[in-house]
Amino acid sequence: MLSIANLSKSYGDRTLFSNVTLNVGARDRIAVIGPNGSGKTTLFEIIAGNMTADSGSVTKRKGTDIGFLEQEIKPSSKRELLQDVAGASTRIKGMEHRIQMLQEELAEGVDGEVSPKLMRELGELQHQFEAAGGYDAEYEARVILSGLGFKESDFGRSMSEFSGGWLMRAALAKLLLLNPDLLLLDEPTNHLDLESCIWFEDYLKTYQGAVLVTSHDRAFLNRVVSRVLAFDHDEVIFHRGNYDSYIKTKQKDLEVREATAKRQEQKIKKEMRFIESFRADKRRAAQVQSRIKRLDKMERIESTKSTKKMHLSFPEPARSGEDVITLKHILKSYGTNVVYRGLNLVLNRGDCVALVGPNGAGKTTLLKMLAGVLSFEKGERKLGHNVETAYYAQYQLDLLDPENTVLTELRKIAGDESEQKLRGILGAFLFGGDDVEKRVSVLSGGEKARLAIAKMLVRPSNFLLMDEPTNHLDIPSREVLTDALEAYGGTLCFVTHDRTVIQQIANKIIEVKEGKLTVFPGAYDSYLFWKEESGRDESAEMPKISKNKEVSARDQSRRRKQAAGELRNEYYKKSSPIKKRIEAVETELVDLEMQMTQIQKMMADPDHYEDNTRVVETIEKHRQLKDTIESLTAEWEELFLEVESLQKEFEQAKDQM
């Protein structure tokens, strides 16, 4: 259906991608992934015909329709939502207009000779209109809009009344209604809540066309795609499988490459030792030159920089009281719209709470009240003993000082922390090297988000509240944040549409719906299972967990980390003496080969043979050195293989935890 051949694109001296080749079949589901700025959106723009490539070609089968969901929202119309979406197809819209005009003309009464002709034309148009789905357009629009989170009461509202996120959903609804042969979806889940995202995934599974999608939502990619096109450093990788499958394969390839590179490095060192030892030996000149030529011709295997997520340990916060925060009989409204009435909630020390529910249900309002940045009409908010809060929201990106450097902005709130410690923290948020000297004014949205999170987490508060912390972050940055939050020792309450984050760190789910809270004491997967069961059986009860027997996800995480630490210590305990012995053997070999070089020089001197006793001693010494060098070399190879084996066992055991 679509063929991409040797596509390349550069901006100035910077190459985004080169020699991209891809064939897209009629029902393919392909993820295009890579770091921010790697060229994913540019590739979509080229496929859509909005941009030209430097070289290569994009060929589509005749009659293939391409629909492109862009990240930037174009100015919307002032029509009503349902009317605007249902009328998205210009072909259907044109036929509908022509049918209306013919009906009005016939109703006014026309000349008898013309009327039959108009009647035939009207009949043909109505048949085409029905075949094109015109009569079902409004029904389909209602289904799609409802699936994407719009309410019935929204259908008659003017498009100009909706915020940017809802306009993006409307644009997606139009695209789905048009039903193109190929969907180009650039970050389609950014403005979807969890329920809408799950509906959208199910919709794409049965979609009759092909889909190319970029997304930082790992759960979405795993459920939707079956192929991956990855922009990875300076190469383009094609993989058959979902995102997790790609990551596992990439890690295995990386391990093989690293092991091969190490073996080659050791071989090169061995050859260089021979060359340095015998460079001045005329009798071995041919062998030395042979090995030099062999090294020159050798294709060097470079160690690939791993894109594995980095880890960060934040200062352990002070211990708070058992009850971290209590809301009692809260009344919160916006004008006549009552969001909460008689709201009661208690969060306990060690809770890691994910607030879930449809957009507009009041999750952010609840989070703001918990953070103390939003007032309410009635009720009480009470913080527990020794509780220190920290709140992250998207608007905080605008509070960063544009004139400061990244390092200066962090230092403002870091107290007496050393520059080395601050650079380490920034490095964990992917600000490496000279990046810390960048001014805030030149940072991208993702970089600002990472800096704002780093500022918040560098202080040892014991109650974190975070509203959509993964927005603007690519997958590596999300993994950094998730690891940091998983290791956090305080209490956490957050809102996110990234299910991978919820699955990894939440130990309590609070569902917010129509002003009511449903508290589920367990992990997200268990919550989804309970939802599914309660949907089939209304009598299904919320699981009850004894406080004394409850093992939270945080406790499990700490136990996993403790087990991982013990495993790592055991690996170091076994491998460290072997590595030390390897270093000692290498040092000894260098010394012995220097001795061998001296003896060979003596043996090459004619005057040396005047003393028979010395000759015998020298020959015996040469033999001993040769035997020792061969023995140590064999020992070195065995030790190296033993370390490799221990490392492999360690990695496998770590993956199984």
3-state secondary structure of 149: coil
Q: CB count, 10 Å around CB of 608?
A: 14
Residues 6+ away with beta carbon under 8 Å from 367? 355, 465, 467, 493, 494, 495
Using CB atoms within 10 A of its CB, is residue 392 exposed (0-12), middle (13-18) or buried (19+)? buried
Whole-Å CA distances, 470 to 228, 258, 393, 467, 482: 22, 31, 11, 9, 9
Instruction: Please state, in angstroms and rounded to a whole number, the distance separating the CA atoms of residues 128 and 141.
Output: 19
The residues, ordered by sequence, that sit 6+ positions from 298 with a Cβ below 8 Å of its Cβ are 264, 268
Residue 5 Cα distances to 178, 216, 226, 374, angstroms:
28, 26, 21, 55
- CA 472 – CA 447 distance, rounded (Å): 8
Name the token pair of 639: 């030790």
Please say whether the beta carbons of 469 and 444 come within 8 A. Answer: no
Flag residues of the chain having pLDDT under 50: 306, 308-310, 545-554
Q: What is the dihedral of CA 566, 569, 574, 580, to 10 degrees?
A: 180
301 Cα distance to chain centroid: 28
CB half-sphere exposure, 382, CA atoms < 13 A:
15
Largest CA distance in the chain: 136
Q: Which residues contact 204 (CB under 8 A, 6 or more apart)?
A: 29, 211, 224
The 8 Å CB, 24+ separation contacts for 248-256 are 251/308, 254/304, 254/306, 255/651
Ramachandran region of residue 323, left (φ > 0), alpha (ψ -120 to 50) or beta? Answer: beta
> For the whole model, what pTM was predicted?
0.66
**Collapsing DSSP states into helix, strand and coil, what is residue 186?**
strand
User: For the CA atoms of 531, 532, 535, 538, what is the dihedral angle to 10 degrees?
Assistant: -70
Main-chain dihedrals φ then ψ at residue 352, nearest 5 degrees: -125, 95
Quick one: which of 637, 309, 645 has its CA closest to 482? 309
Residue range 323-357, pLDDT digits in tens: 999 999 999 999 889 999 999 999 999 999 999 98
Please tell me the predicted confidence (pLDDT) of residue 556. 55
Please tell me the distance from the alpha carbon of residue 614 to that of residue 605, in angstroms, as a whole number. 12
* Helix (H) or strand (E) segment spanning residue 201: helix 194-205
* Residues whose CB falls within 8 Å of the CB of residue 484, separated by 6 or more in sequence, listed in order: 312, 314, 428, 457
Task: Return d(Cα 446, Cα 436) in angstroms, integer.
Answer: 15
Backbone φ, ψ for residue 228 (5° rounding): -135, 130
| CA 73 – CA 41 distance, rounded (Å) | 14
Q: How far apart are the first and last CA of the chain?
A: 43
Host H or E run for residue 130:
helix 115-131
- Using alpha carbons, list the distances in angstroms from residue 17 to 233, 339, 538: 9, 49, 53
Distance between CA atoms of residues 575 and 484, nearest Å: 28
Residue type, 394: Q
Q: How many CB atoms lie within 10 A of CB 310?
A: 17
Single out the residue of 548, 504, 511 nearest to residue 530, CA to CA: 511
At 546 the pLDDT is: 45
Three-state DSSP class for residue 108:
helix
Distance between CA atoms of residues 497 and 480, nearest Å: 17
Buried b (16+ CB within 10 A) or exposed e, 221-233: bbbbbebbbbbee
According to the model, what pLDDT value does residue 74 have? 67
Q: What number of residues does the chain have? A: 657
The predicted-structure confidence for 442-469, as pLDDT tens digits, reads as follows 887 778 888 888 887 777 789 999 998 8
Count CB neighbours of 476 within 10 A: 16
